Amino acid sequence: MADLSVNIAGVRFKNPVVTASGTFGFGREFSQVYDLSKLGGIACKGITLKPRDGNPPPRIAETPSGILNSVGLQNPGVDWFVKHEVPWLKKYDTVIIANVAGNEIADYCEVVERLNESQVDMIELNISCPNVKQGGVAFGTSAKAAGEITKAVRNVCKKPLAVKLSPNVANIGDIAAAVESEGADAVSLINTITGMRIDINTRRPILTNNTGGLSGPAVFPIAVRMVYEVSRRVTIPVIGMGGIATWQDAVEIMLAGACLVQVGTANFTDPYAPLKIIEGIEQYLDQNVISSVTEIVGKVQIYE
């Protein structure tokens, strides 16, 4: 049997499949379906300094091959997370990734400082959030802003640090290079793509936030392309996500350059999707006589 383990910044994942932030909560509901210890890791729901109610409904809209969401980072706040969710999650033999969000650099830093002494294994920085001090422009839409927030967080962060990149940019490779230069241990991509739906009868947006983040199989080819580009711009590990629904998708995005994959929207249509993907990757490696999953990372053969 092939070795499915992956190591990122000293953190060992037993297999390369992680559940994506915002689609798995803190794992409590899914723990009633299967043993969470079977997963390579869990990227928890985005955590902010204070509790957030999120946006008013409707905040989810179905689209062809995906969904739009404008949940608005509803979460119980970092103190609740550290006190109640992390100890519960540590009952399982899987990597715990805390996803951190905020509206100011100081918010991010304070959340990370409170997580430093917790039992989470890794921090994932969500830089798709609006920077209120810069007119609401997301931190991740410019290399300068992405580098600044990464540098500030790196200075206080005692955990391995991954930065989650927004695809709503002209050149994602520049963003990735900027966060690498400021100390990121890994990058994860892609976050959702901004989209919109309109009810033709009411002539109003379906989401009360007007726009939302598009995820699901519709964005998968974009994710593959961006993972490919980023993996050739940085030397740090790339974590791939965006529409991964099958083991074939996972293998494809790993060939593009991802060493780890996150499964998100697929959890809503099939809660067993991550386990099926793990099993499929293992069978693929065995059938092709590949001894380790790391051997397929970035091995796409590009036409010259």
| CATH (domain of 103) | 3.20.20.70
Q: Does some domain include residue 208?
A: no
Q: Does some domain include residue 67?
A: no
pLDDT score recorded for residue 131: 72
**Per-residue pLDDT of the chain in tens (304 residues, 90 and over written 9):** 899 999 999 999 999 999 999 999 999 999 999 999 999 999 999 999 999 999 999 999 999 999 999 999 999 999 999 999 999 999 999 999 999 999 999 999 999 999 999 999 999 999 988 776 777 778 999 999 999 999 999 999 999 999 999 999 999 999 999 999 999 999 999 999 999 999 999 999 999 999 999 999 999 999 999 999 999 999 999 999 999 999 999 999 999 999 999 999 999 999 999 999 999 999 999 999 999 999 999 999 999 8
Question: What's the number of domains the chain is made of?
Answer: 1
CA–CA separation, 170 and 272 (whole Å): 35
Cis peptide before 58 (omega within 30 of 0): yes
pLDDT score recorded for residue 154: 98
**CB burial of residue 164 (10 Å; 0-12, 13-18, 19+):** buried
Is residue 259 part of the annotated active site? The answer reads no
Helix axes 273-287, 247-256, angle to 10 degrees: 60
Q: What stretches of the chain show up as alpha helix (H) in DSSP?
A: 78-80, 86-89, 105-115, 143-156, 172-181, 220-231, 247-256, 266-269, 273-287
CB atoms within 10 A of CB 7: 12
Range of the domain at 165: 6-51+73-194+213-296
Q: Single out the catalytic residue among 44, 129, 157, 259.
A: 129
CA–CA separation, 258 and 294 (whole Å): 9
CA angle 84, 89, 92 (to 5 degrees): 150
The first and second tokens of residue 282, run together, are 């293992």
Q: Does some domain include residue 63?
A: no
Q: Does some domain include residue 170?
A: yes
Q: Does some domain include residue 303?
A: no
Q: Does some domain include residue 59?
A: no
Q: Does some domain include residue 128?
A: yes
Q: Does some domain include residue 105?
A: yes
